[in-house]
Amino acid sequence: MRIDVENDGEKTVPALVVSVNIQGKQGEAAQIPFSVHEPDPELANGDRPVWVLSATYPRLVGSSEPGGAETSSPGTYSFGPLKPGKSVEAVWKLSAARPGKYTVAYEVGAGLSSETKAETSSGVAPGGTFVTDISTELPETEVNGAGEIVEIEGGKDTP
């Protein structure tokens, strides 16, 4: 998952933060990022991961250092200050763990305190949603000349 953020304001954003959750009753009840909550009283913890976040992620593109420290709020990641006129791209490396159709919501903020607000040039809070569909079917893949596993377009029937 990648999110691009640009500071087109005149002040430095004190702490760029991105909050991510899965929409819907189950996603909003989860305490673990990228999870849903199963309300089964037999479970010690009802949170079930939809995606598993890889170690050292999220991070800013071009950096080998983890850049998105998880905050005390589950699903909120801090990427540090963002100067005026600068842009960054944050990336989360995720592995699917639970099939299904999910709507992921994200919100971009200017800091962790309620005193700092981020807004778009039209005056609304930056963020959005996108729909994902995790399938149980494996894609057709091959190893390319660079040693990377890539999906074969059109599968085995492609000439």
pLDDT digits (tens, 9 = 90+) for 20-55: 999 998 888 888 889 999 988 898 889 999 999 998
pLDDT: which is higher, 137 or 112: 137
Residue 158 pLDDT > 60: no
Q: Which residue has the tokens 């800091």?
A: 111
Beta bridge partners of 90: 3, 60
Q: Per-residue pLDDT averaged across 84-113, rounded?
A: 92
For the chain, what is the domain count?
A: 1
Q: Which residue has the tokens 């593109």?
A: 61
Q: Do residues 64 and 1 lie in contact, with contact meaning Cβ atoms separated by under 8 Å?
A: no
Full residue range of the structural domain in which residue 54 is found: 2-157
For residue 53, count other CB atoms closer than 10 A to its CB.
Answer: 20
Name the more confident of 56 and 68.
56
What are the tens digits of pLDDT across the range 123-155? 788 999 999 999 988 888 889 999 888 888 765
